[in-house]
Structure 1
């Protein structure tokens, strides 16, 4: 009986020793949340570019039909918190693109579709960033493809994965700003009349998503 008692006491003493060691270690947890600058993006007129009624008799049968350029305002407001951000555009009508319709000076990545009626494609349009400013300071557009190096841009906007931002100095790197104003210029080009179904109304139906992202 004494041997059993002695063994039991040994276990109790070991447990007490382990318990004492466990209380010498504690964990420190540091918590918090870093929130991106609260920036708001808006386009004038709800982002709608309306070419109104176009008479079929105005259209060339055998050549592409460029229309006049139209614009809408672009505003980004980050309150009082400067931030580096950029814009990407995704063509929601990319399947209706008419190759080569924009002409010289544009790439196919800068060609956005105007929709289609059945299998007949309506046309295309270009998007250009202009007159970018922050607190009266002129900004120059820059761009990169995916996560590549930034380079100067003429403002003509190619579709994602191209990303656009702006610089306020010589260095080609995004400027940290709290507000941005500018103009989005759109120029539509309608397909050849011989390639349209002009027995019924043909609606210009260009749609693109503009996304503001932090850099």
Structure 2
């Protein structure tokens, strides 16, 4: 659209208005929404970390047991350079046995025992063919600092570095997403039947 059109239109209206007559007025509004370039996130292996079958004998009776770190490949592709953040929604909210403010739940055992928790981190991020630093904000984007954390307690973005840390617009992102799963002490769980590890989270991309 010609950026001079509104001014020319106003001048034309003024030129056509008879100076000798009083004028009644009414408001005219121009509305609409401009959307950013759309971005599509994707995860390898369908976004599933499968720990397979675990024996109850392998669980520590007193301390939490850390399982093998799961790893997926995270990609985000945008139509053009776009400023966005990543966060998650914990679809098992209220079931994290450890640090529920930052970690995600793994479901319940017998409706009253929390099975464990899982946290996520973003590592080795590359944006538009150049290494970038992962940064995090816990105050809604007011301040940022270096962190690999990805979760519901913060916003995650990327920067080329420097202080202060400022999120950058990018078009293509590639990174490793790791899942750190912890099972509650076996002494706190009823281990009479097979227990499914039932963690589930939604990765959200928010335009910034």
The TM-score by the shorter chain falls in which range? Answer: 0.7 to 0.9
Q: What CA distance in whole angstroms lies between the structure 2 residues aligned with 1:31 and 1:149?
A: 29
The 4+ residue runs of structure 1 with deviation greater than 3 A are 20-33
Q: Which runs of 5+ in 1 are unaligned?
A: 1-19, 101-107
Q: By how many angstroms is 1:30 displaced? A: 4.8
Superposition RMSD in Å: 2.2
1:115-143 deviations in Å (ceiling 9; x for gaps)? 11121211111211111111221111112
Equivalent residue for 2:36? 36
Evaluate the alpha carbon distance shift between residue 62 and residue 29 of structure 1 in structure 2; reply closer, same or farther with a 3 A threshold.
closer
Evaluate the alpha carbon distance shift between residue 158 and residue 26 of structure 1 in structure 2; reply closer, same or farther with a 3 A threshold.
closer
Structure 1 or 2: more helix by fraction: 1
**2:193 is aligned with 1:182:** no
Q: How does the TM-score come out when normalised to structure 1?
A: 0.78
Equivalent residue for 1:117? 109
Equivalent residue for 1:82? 81
**Matched residue of 1:53: which SS?**
coil
Which residue of 149, 161, 164 corresponds with 1:169?
161
**2:151 is aligned with 1:151:** no
1:61-99 deviations in Å (ceiling 9; x for gaps)? 2221111111111111003x1011001112222211113
Q: By how many angstroms is 1:23 displaced? A: 7.6
Q: What CA distance in whole angstroms lies between the structure 1 residues aligned with 2:42 and 2:21?
A: 61
Q: By how many angstroms is 1:150 displaced? A: 2.7
Evaluate the alpha carbon distance shift between residue 124 and residue 30 of structure 1 in structure 2; reply closer, same or farther with a 3 A threshold.
closer
Is the CA contact 1:110–1:157 (under 8 Å) kept in the aligned structure 2? no
Is the CA contact 2:62–2:187 (under 8 Å) kept in the aligned structure 1? yes
Q: Which runs of 5+ in 2 are unaligned?
A: 1-19
Q: By how many angstroms is 1:147 displaced? A: 2.9
Evaluate the alpha carbon distance shift between residue 26 and residue 94 of structure 1 in structure 2; reply closer, same or farther with a 3 A threshold.
closer
Equivalent residue for 2:60? 60
User: Across the two proteins, how many residue pairs are aligned to each other?
Assistant: 187
